[in-house]
Amino acid sequence: MWPKDAIGAAKVPFLLLCLLPLAGIGWDIAHQSLGPDPVAQLEHRTGDWALRLLLATLAVTPLRRVTGFAPLLRFRRMLGLFAFFYATMHLATYLIIDLGGFWTQLFAEIVKRPYITVGFLAWAGLVPLALTSTRGMMRRLGRRWTQLHRLVYPIALLAVLHFLWLVKSGQKIAVREPLVYLAIFAVLMLWRIPWTRLAARLGLREPPATGSPAPQRR
């Protein structure tokens, strides 16, 4: 077992690691090196990182079970909050920078285009999860907190669909990248199924996904 101080200390470099994509984007903006279509680049980069970090949060539980390294759970909240952070940047880039003054287009887009609808729903779903990520909310909601945070599964699926549906159809190559994310999502979900079944069969309860209730330092 790691001493609590070591975990607390490890969170600082971990936080910096999560900020690296943002620093990269900031650097490229400052140096005008986002390429000929910088807005699209900004959308792609923030979207990519939102999706990656979202899947990373889903990978924490399997990783912990495989490695038996319990302190991994302590990093999950930060991963989730950074996923929300990049998703918010992604949405803000689309709304403020890309759409610019053409606000009326937004409503038409959200209603008419499945990939935008689905992407927006994914972001909206993350909002309550981010709002209830504090220790106080965790305590107040109790078991319902766990239930609420299972929302992350459909959210991740929506996020992958958002990516899958926006690429041009009729080409096998273009869907390769979103399909990789879909495969990762599928593996992470499939991994969970035998455990719940096994737990049910043995009459055991699945341990709460929130990890140890030990106090955390940030």
Partner 1 sequence: MTKRFFDTIPGSLITPEPIYHGRREWLKSLALSPLLIAGCKAESTAGTQAPIMPDAAPLQARRPSAWDTRDEQTSWHDATHHNNFYEFGTGKGDPSRHSARFKPRPWSVEVAGLAEVTGTFDLDDLVKPELLEERIYRLRCVEAWSMVIPWVGVPLADCLKRFKPLSSAKYVAFTTVMRPAEMPGQSYPVLDWPYREGLRIDEAMHPLTLLAVGMYGRVLPNQNGAPLRLVVPWKYGFKSIKSIVRIEFVAEQPVTSWNAAGPDEYGFYSNVNPQLDHPRWSQRTERRIAGSGGSLFGNRIETLPFNGYGEHVASLYTDADARKYF
Binding site for partner 1 (CB under 8 A): 29, 32-40, 42, 97-102, 105, 108-109, 112-115, 165-166, 168-174
End-to-end CA distance of the chain: 19
Minimum distance, C-beta of residue 46 to partner 1, in the bound complex (Å)? 13
Asked if residues 24 and 42 have their Cβ atoms less than 8 Å apart, the reply is no
Minimum distance, C-beta of residue 20 to partner 1, in the bound complex (Å)? 21
Minimum distance, C-beta of residue 204 to partner 1, in the bound complex (Å)? 45
Q: Please, which residue, 23 or 29, has the CB nearer to partner 1? A: 29
DSSP string across 23-56: HHHHHHHHTT-S-SSHHHHHHHHHHHHHHHHHHH
Measured distance CA(218)–CA(216) in Å, rounded: 6
Q: Please, which residue, 81 or 167, has the CB nearer to partner 1? A: 167
Asked if residues 73 and 113 have their Cβ atoms less than 8 Å apart, the reply is no
Minimum distance, C-beta of residue 24 to partner 1, in the bound complex (Å)? 16
| CA 98 to chain CA mean position, Å | 22
Minimum distance, C-beta of residue 100 to partner 1, in the bound complex (Å)? 4
For residue 56, what are the contacts with CB-CB under 8 A and spacing of at least 6? Answer: 79, 83
Structure token pair of residue 147: 């239930």
Picking from 82, 74, 19, 26, the residue whose alpha carbon sits closest to that of residue 55 is: 82
Minimum distance, C-beta of residue 172 to partner 1, in the bound complex (Å)? 6
Q: Please, which residue, 33 or 147, has the CB nearer to partner 1? A: 33
